[in-house]
Amino acid sequence: MRALLPEPLPDPDLHAWYATDWSDRGGLRMSFVASADGAASASGSSRGLQTPGDQRVFRALRDLADVLLVGAGTARAEGYRGAARAVAPDPRRRATREAHGFAPDLPLAVVSRSLRLGPLLARAPAAHPASSSAPPPAPAPESAPPPAPAPESTRPGAPKLIVITCAAALAAADAALRDALDESADLVIAGDAEVDLALALDALRQRGHRRILGEGGPTLFASLIAAGLVDELCLSVAPRLAGPGASRIVAGAPWPQPPLPLRLAGLLEDDGALFCRYRRPGDQVASGPNSSRETRLDQGVSPSSATGPGQ
């Protein structure tokens, strides 16, 4: 891995590199991987686009976050049941997080209107057999499938899954779903008929989560941009061609013209893969107490002003 911008460095410390202009400032940082031809997924997931360098960057970004934010579509497509295990990383990762001023656990926040959260909402396991007077369960027949592993959020002491939704969605939930949410989730009701993402991010900040890492997906990213809430885009460009038909890192209704400009604040290269840190033009680090707040990746895009296809 080598840094090309803002200045050349042969083997940068990735944590220090990504902590610069981030750990102190905080904000919403989005992380995506795309192929050289702009695909955000290959065969339905982003895994086919990942490179060894991308894995290193992916881990460093998670190590430098107070909370991980994803849309429910990404949680479903990418099996965040599995990824939730990485959200409570191994002891070395926990120590790394603490050394950089972050809590050892990384909570997961999921945005959903439908509340179709499946395995993410699994209930906490029963008491450990060794501490229970109940008889042990009968052995499963040989042909029975192995029990699904409990999600990491059920580990004792692990932070609860944060579920971000709106009042109308909760009102439409049945009793079983409400029970599951009561038991397994830290529920954020942001907005009435639709999820208000600005309120959602405020709720995360009220929980002490200033440095928010968004891992997608494309629909949530487009909504966050439209609401003017994104401070940084960390984009990995994999040296691969995914071919026609793949989705992009944004999805939803087209935006009005012109395209939003970005400033390339940093660039790494590893074995042909590029790792870009984009911010808004004019978004420089505040140098004094009277410096104005940085701009964000938005300015003037709103869902209501979005035009139809082809315009």
Interface residues toward ligand NAP, by CB under 6 A:
32-34, 40-41, 44-46, 70-74, 77-78, 111-114, 116, 195, 197, 215-220, 223, 247, 249, 251
Residue 23 or 219: the one with the smaller Cβ distance to ligand NAP is 219
Residue 86 or 103: the one with the smaller Cβ distance to ligand NAP is 86
Q: Provide the minimum distance between the beta carbon of 27 and ligand NAP in the complex, in angstroms, as a whole number.
A: 18
Q: Cα(270)–Cα(262) distance, rounded to whole angstroms?
A: 22
Q: Provide the minimum distance between the beta carbon of 217 and ligand NAP in the complex, in angstroms, as a whole number.
A: 2
Q: Provide the minimum distance between the beta carbon of 148 and ligand NAP in the complex, in angstroms, as a whole number.
A: 20
Using N-to-C axis directions, what is the helix angle for 91-99 and 52-63, rounded to 10°? 60
Nearest in space to 152 (alpha carbons), one of 119, 183, 178, 182:
119
Q: Which of left, alpha, beta for 245 (phi over 0: left; psi -120 to 50: alpha)?
A: left
Q: Provide the minimum distance between the beta carbon of 297 and ligand NAP in the complex, in angstroms, as a whole number.
A: 16
Q: Provide the minimum distance between the beta carbon of 42 and ligand NAP in the complex, in angstroms, as a whole number.
A: 9
Q: Cα(269)–Cα(308) distance, rounded to whole angstroms?
A: 37
Q: Cα(46)–Cα(32) distance, rounded to whole angstroms?
A: 9
Residue 94 or 178: the one with the smaller Cβ distance to ligand NAP is 178
Residue 140 or 253: the one with the smaller Cβ distance to ligand NAP is 253
Residue 264, SS3 per DSSP = strand
Q: Cα(105)–Cα(169) distance, rounded to whole angstroms?
A: 29
Q: Cα(159)–Cα(94) distance, rounded to whole angstroms?
A: 14
Q: Provide the minimum distance between the beta carbon of 125 and ligand NAP in the complex, in angstroms, as a whole number.
A: 25
**Rg, Å, the chain Cα set:** 21
Residues 6 or more apart whose CB falls under 8 angstroms from that of 113 comprise: 165, 166, 169, 194, 195
Residue 114 or 132: the one with the smaller Cβ distance to ligand NAP is 114
Q: Provide the minimum distance between the beta carbon of 207 and ligand NAP in the complex, in angstroms, as a whole number.
A: 19
Decide: 121 and 161 in contact? Cβ < 8 Å.
Answer: yes
Residue 71 or 266: the one with the smaller Cβ distance to ligand NAP is 71
Beta strands in the chain (DSSP E): 2-5, 27-35, 67-71, 108-111, 161-165, 185-189, 211-214, 232-238, 263-270, 273-279
Residue 56 or 155: the one with the smaller Cβ distance to ligand NAP is 56
C-alpha dihedral sign at 241, 254, 26, 207: negative
Residue 91 or 309: the one with the smaller Cβ distance to ligand NAP is 309
Q: Provide the minimum distance between the beta carbon of 139 and ligand NAP in the complex, in angstroms, as a whole number.
A: 37
